[in-house]
Structure 1
Amino acid sequence: MKKDLKLGKVNFSVLDLAIINEGRDAADAFQRSMDLAKHVEDMGYKRFWMAEHHNMPSVGSSATAVLLAHIGGGTKSIRIGSGGIMLPNHSPLMVAEQFGTLASLFPGRVDLGLGRAPGTDQETVRALRRNRLETLEEFPQDLEDLQMYLSPENIDGRVHAIPGEGLDIPIYLLGSSMSSAALAAKKGLPYAFASHFAPKQFLKAIAYYKENFEPSDQLSKPYVISCVNVIAAQEDKEAHQLATSLYRLALNGIRRLSFPLLPPVENMEGLWSNEEETAVRHMMACSFIGAPSTVEHDLKAFQELAQVDEIMVTSHIYDHDARILSYQILAEIIKRTKMELSQ
C-alpha cells in the first residue's frame, strides 16, 4: 500500500455532466463543456470525463460517447472518457464498438469508466432497456464480455467489435459501495469512487480495494480515483454563495424533484429544513469550497486521510466564467504543491 502520497503527487482530472442551466438548453451546455475542456487541457488536468444520466433536466450528457467525440475533436492532448457508461443499459458489444470508434479517432486518449447503476429512475430504466431484464448480479459477466470484445485474444471468436478489438482502451470501475470495491479489486482494475455525492463508504471501500487488490494485465498495483466537488473563488464568502447552486441541486434530489441548475442565491436560509440541510451536507461531505488558501488547506487534509492516486473534480457553478476561474484557482494550487515537493 502506498504511504504518504502528498497532494503534489496526485493527478487531477475533471468530471463534467454538460450541466444545463435554468433558462438555457443542451446546445448551450455542450458549448460550455467544450470551452471548459479546452481550458482545463491548457491548465494541465489529466483527463476530462463525462457521465451517463437519463431523464434529468440538469444533465445533458446522456449520449455520452457521442458527446465525447465532440470533446475529443475540439481538444488535442487531454484524455477523454466516461465517468461512466452505465453498462447494464447497453450491450457490451455496442459499448466496445462505440469506444473502439473513439479510440480510433483519438488514439491513446480514451478511457472507459463503467458503472453498474442505471443512472436514472426505474421507469426510465424500463424505457431504456425495453424487454431486457438486466440486473446488478449480471454486471460481472457483462464486464467479462466487454473485456473479451476489446481483447486481441478474441481474434478467433465468432463475434468481433469492429472497431474495438485489440485497441488499448483502459477500463475503470466506478462505484460508491463495498461491492464495487470488491469487484475492482478482484478484476485488478482502477477504482473510481463517487465521493462527490455518496461519501458514506468511501474510506472503508478504498481500504478494502487496496488490501485485496489482485494484479492484472492492465494494472500491477491499486489505483484509486476520488471524485470531489470543488468550488473555488477569490473569497470564502463568494465561493459559498456560488455553492448554493450545488446545494439546491442536491436538495431537489432529496425531494425527488429535478430542475436545471439554478442560479446562486445569497444563502440557503429558508430554502431547506434542518433535516434537509443535514442530509445535503452529509451527501456533500467531500466538497472543497472557499478561497484559494481554504481549498488548499482542506484538500491537503483530505489527501492525508484518503491517500488516493487521483482527484477528479466536478464543479456545479452556474456562471461559466466563475466555473473556469474555479478550475484555474485549483490548477494554481496544484502547481504550487508540486513545486513544494520539488524543493
Structure 2
Amino acid sequence: MKPLPLRLSVLDLVPVMQKADSHTALGQAVTLARTAEKLGYTRYWVSEHHDMKQLASACPEVLLAHIGAHTEHIRIGSGAVLLPHYQPVKVAEAFHLLATLHPGRIDLGIGRAPGGSAHVTLALSGNFLENVRKMPDKIRDLTALIEGEFTVEGERVTARPVPPDSPELWLLGTNAKSAAYAAEYGTGYVFGRFMSDNDGAAVLGEYRSAFRPSRLLAEPKAIVAVGAVCAETEERARE
C-alpha cells in the first residue's frame, strides 16, 4: 500500500519568550498561524494552561476566534480544552460558535490534564480527581451535544448556535488510557510524543485496533505531536 503523504500542523503553547510580554506573545501567535497557513500546514492548534507565567494561552476558544479572523482556510483548534474542568454543554456551545464563525475549519481537541498547579486547579473546578473520574460521562455527553442528540430528563438540549459543519472531535493523550477513550467513543486521537515516554507506535496500534466507528468518525484518525526546533540550518537548530 502506498504511504499517505505526511501532513504537518502546529501546536502552539503561545510562549512568552525572553523579555516579551503576553501581548507580544499573542501577536506572535497570529504571525505563526498566518505563516503556517501560507506554507500549506494543515492545522494550527493552541493549548490551555493556567497561571503559568511563560505561557499566554489560558482560554483556547477566545484566542481561536481571533486567529480565525486573521486567517482564511487553515484548520484551527484546541490542543486541548481540559474537559474535567468544564461542563460539556459549555464547551460544545463555545466550539459551535467558533464553527459558525469559521465554517469547516474548527477542531475540538480535549484532554484530561489539570493544566496548572494544584491551587489553580482547585480554583478552576474543585476536586480534580473526581472530575477526571467523570471523564467517560463528559466525553459521552460532549459527543451527544455535537451530534445533536443530548437530552436532560428526556428533553433535548441543543448547544447553539448550530454550525453548518460540526467541529472535528479529537482526544489528546500520552498513554493507552486516552487512546482507549478515543477508540471507544469514535473520535480522532492525538498522541503527545513530545511529553511521553510511552511507545507511541504501540499506543496508536491499540487505538486503531479498538476503534469503534461513530457518527462523528467512520475510521480511526491519528496525529502524533512531536517537539521541533526550527532554524535556518541544522547546526543552528542543534545549538
Q: Same-fold call, TM > 0.5?
A: yes
Equivalent residues of 1:151, 1:166 under 8 A apart:
no
Check if 1:197 corresponds to 2:195: yes
Q: What is the deviation of 1:132? A: 7.5
Q: 2-side partners of 1:232 and 1:119: how far apart?
A: 26
Counterpart for residue 181 of structure 1: 179
Counterpart for residue 138 of structure 2: 142
Q: 2-side partners of 1:106 and 1:85: how far apart?
A: 18
Q: 1-side partners of 2:228 and 2:112: how far apart?
A: 25
Match of 1:225 among 223, 226, 231: 223
Equivalent residues of 1:172, 1:190 under 8 A apart:
yes
Equivalent residues of 2:22, 2:56 under 8 A apart:
yes
Paired residue secondary structure (1:59): coil
Counterpart for residue 160 of structure 1: 158
Q: 2-side partners of 1:125 and 1:171: how far apart?
A: 24
Going from structure 1 to structure 2, the CA distance change for 1:197 and 1:4 (only over 3 Å counts) comes to farther
Q: 2-side partners of 1:89 and 1:164: how far apart?
A: 23
Q: What is the deviation of 1:226? A: 0.2
Match of 2:29 among 23, 30, 33: 33
Q: 1-side partners of 2:138 and 2:148: how far apart?
A: 18
Paired residue secondary structure (1:214): coil
Check if 1:62 corresponds to 2:58: yes
CA RMSD in angstroms comes to 2.0
Q: What does 1:145-294 align with in structure 2 at a 5 Å threshold?
A: 145-154=141-150, 157-164=155-162, 167-241=165-239
Going from structure 1 to structure 2, the CA distance change for 1:132 and 1:110 (only over 3 Å counts) comes to same
Counterpart for residue 259 of structure 1: none
Going from structure 1 to structure 2, the CA distance change for 1:166 and 1:77 (only over 3 Å counts) comes to closer
Larger gyration radius, structure 1 or structure 2: 1
Residue type at the aligned position of 1:186 = E
Paired residue secondary structure (2:205): helix
Q: What is the deviation of 1:235? A: 2.8
Instruction: Give the structure, 1 or 2, with the largest relative contact order (CA under 8 Å, sep 6 or more).
Output: 1
Going from structure 1 to structure 2, the CA distance change for 1:177 and 1:28 (only over 3 Å counts) comes to same
What are the superposed Cα offsets for residues 261-301 of structure 1, whole Å, 9 maximum, x if unpaired?
xxxxxxxxxxxxxxxxxxxxxxxxxxxxxxxxxxxxxxxxx
Q: What is the deviation of 1:153? A: 3.2
Counterpart for residue 79 of structure 2: 83
Equivalent residues of 1:171, 1:189 under 8 A apart:
yes
What are the superposed Cα offsets for residues 130-159 of structure 1, whole Å, 9 maximum, x if unpaired?
477743221110011112222233488343
Counterpart for residue 127 of structure 1: 123
Q: 1-side partners of 2:188 and 2:146: how far apart?
A: 17
Equivalent residues of 2:141, 2:150 under 8 A apart:
no
Check if 1:5 corresponds to 2:9: no
Q: Which runs of no fewer than 5 residues in structure 2 stay unpaired? A: none
State the identity as a percent: 37
Q: 1-side partners of 2:111 and 2:131: how far apart?
A: 13
Aligned length: 237
Greater fraction helix: 1
Q: What is the deviation of 1:100? A: 1.0
Paired residue secondary structure (1:107): coil
What are the superposed Cα offsets for residues 160-191 of structure 1, whole Å, 9 maximum, x if unpaired?
32224785111001000111111111112110
Give the TM-score normalised by structure 1.
0.65
Residue type at the aligned position of 1:196 = F
Q: Which stretch shows the higher mean deviation, 199-208 or 36-45? A: 199-208
Q: 1-side partners of 2:49 and 2:2: how far apart?
A: 36
Going from structure 1 to structure 2, the CA distance change for 1:40 and 1:167 (only over 3 Å counts) comes to closer
Check if 1:117 corresponds to 2:109: no
Equivalent residues of 1:152, 1:166 under 8 A apart:
no
Q: What does 1:299-310 align with in structure 2 at a 5 Å threshold?
A: none
What are the superposed Cα offsets for residues 56-85 of structure 1, whole Å, 9 maximum, x if unpaired?
112111111100001000000001100110
Residue type at the aligned position of 2:118 = Q
Residue type at the aligned position of 1:227 = A
Q: 2-side partners of 1:107 and 1:236: how far apart?
A: 38
Equivalent residues of 1:99, 1:164 under 8 A apart:
no
Q: 2-side partners of 1:49 and 1:240: how far apart?
A: 25
